[in-house]
Amino acid sequence: MIVASSALAAGSVTRQDLRRRYRKIHRNIYAPADMHLTPKDRALAAWLWSQGQATLVGVSAAAWLGSRWIPDDAPAEIARVRYAAPPGIVVRGDALADDEVCVRGSLDCTTPARTGYDIGRRIPGDLGVIRVDALLNATGCTVDEIAAIADRYPGARGIRLLRETLTLADGGAESPKETELRLLLIRAGLPRPVTQIKVGNRRVDMGYPELKVGVEYDGAQHWTDPDEHAADIDRLEYLAAQGWTIIRVSARQLRYRPAEIVRRVGDALLSRSATTVR
């Protein structure tokens, strides 16, 4: 990523280079022609376009803070810019307190808590929970820290949506599908599962430790990567030896047979509860 005027002045590129080897992202901002732009790249391009004056917010701040699962084509989000933005950049006009901004890699961006506050009040439904989950997982920020920012702005737009999202958010989710699976169980009326349960030196994605019932989403890598598949077998055998029942869920089951998943988990909980009572 280059600022064309600076690169031309320094002699590191020529105008012919810009035409042949680069593509224009924003005015005066170019990237190599074959470069695949990630959300973090788009955030950097927007910051360069602002001449280093902007603060990254929303999904751009999340990307810069290490959050995953953001679409590559999501528009960059910035604040503290007074002029109109080009396509591909959204300028937010919200006020930012000094303690709601941090520096990451020499760029100003909102803190994890402020970022979660902004994302949670702007993205509705399960997608909002997925985005907040990913941010919490990447940064170690907590729901309570985001709620503390919300308390500063009780009349802000989207505050009710944010609070609904925070009741469902959990930083233990390591993928969007894990979030979807957790939400399925909660909305079906099952007890809210605990996430990332430690069992010796192993972990269970989510479940009910008091009953030793675990629920795990198996992504494609669990079957296509021989090393991961072998590790899964070892881990599941270990968990079984510790008395755990693990309900494994595939992408196809989550999409097409959610009621069956709920039944399987419910049956396992009932069975373990009956055994515990005895």
- Whether 109 and 227 map to the same domain: the answer is no
Asked whether residue 42 falls in the same domain as residue 100, the answer is: yes
Q: How many domains does the chain have?
A: 3
For residue 243, is it left (φ>0), alpha (ψ between -120 and 50) or beta? left
* pLDDT at residue number 75: 96
Query: Does residue 221 surpass a pLDDT of 60?
Result: no
Kindly state whether residues 91 and 163 are assigned to the same domain. Answer: yes
Instruction: Say yes or no: 40 and 134 in one domain.
Output: yes
Strand 202-208 vs strand 194-199: parallel, antiparallel, or unpaired?
Answer: antiparallel
Same domain, 206 and 255: yes
Domain end among 171, 192, 224: 171
Which residue has better confidence, 275 or 194?
A: 194
Structure confidence at residue 114 (pLDDT): 98
**Which residues are CB-contacts of 6 (< 8 A; sequence separation ≥ 6)?**
none
CATH number for position 222: 3.40.960.10
Q: What is the pLDDT of residues 122-174, one digit of tens each?
A: 999 999 999 999 999 999 999 999 999 999 999 999 999 999 999 999 999 99
Give the tens place of pLDDT for each residue, 90-126. Answer: 999 999 999 999 999 999 999 999 999 999 999 999 9
**241 and 123, same structural domain?**
no
Q: DSSP alpha helices (H): ranges in the chain?
A: 4-10, 15-21, 39-49, 58-64, 112-122, 125-139, 143-152, 159-168, 176-187, 221-224, 226-241, 251-256, 258-277
* Average of per-residue pLDDT values in the chain: 94
Q: Say whether pLDDT at 175 is over 90.
A: yes
User: Which is nearest to 144 in space by CA: 106, 125, 119, 117?
Assistant: 117
What pLDDT does 229 receive? Answer: 78
What is the token pair recorded at 235?
């881990």
pTM of the shown model = 0.92
Q: What is the pLDDT of residue 224?
A: 58
The per-residue pLDDT for 220 is 56
CA nearest neighbour of 195 among 270, 187, 185? 185
Do residues 93 and 194 share a domain?
no
Residues 27 and 42 in one domain: no
For residues 53-60, average pLDDT: 97
* pLDDT tens string 1-41: 999 999 999 999 999 999 999 999 999 999 999 999 999 99
Same domain (yes/no): 69, 122: yes
Find the domain containing 119 and state its range: 36-171
**Same domain for 149 and 177?**
no
Residue finishing a domain among 171, 187, 210: 171
Residues 247-258 pLDDT 10s = 999 999 999 999
pLDDT reported for residue 228: 78
Q: Which residue has the higher pLDDT, 254 or 233?
A: 254
Q: Are residues 177 and 124 in the same domain?
A: no
Distance in angstroms (rounded) separating the CA atoms of residues 239 and 237: 5
How do residues 34-53 score in pLDDT, each as one tens digit?
A: 999 999 999 999 999 999 99
Please tell me which residue, 109 or 222, carries the higher pLDDT value.
Answer: 109
Q: Looking at residues 189-204, what average pLDDT do you find?
A: 96
Does residue 204 sit in the same domain as residue 265?
yes
The residue out of 142, 171, 200 marking a domain boundary is 171
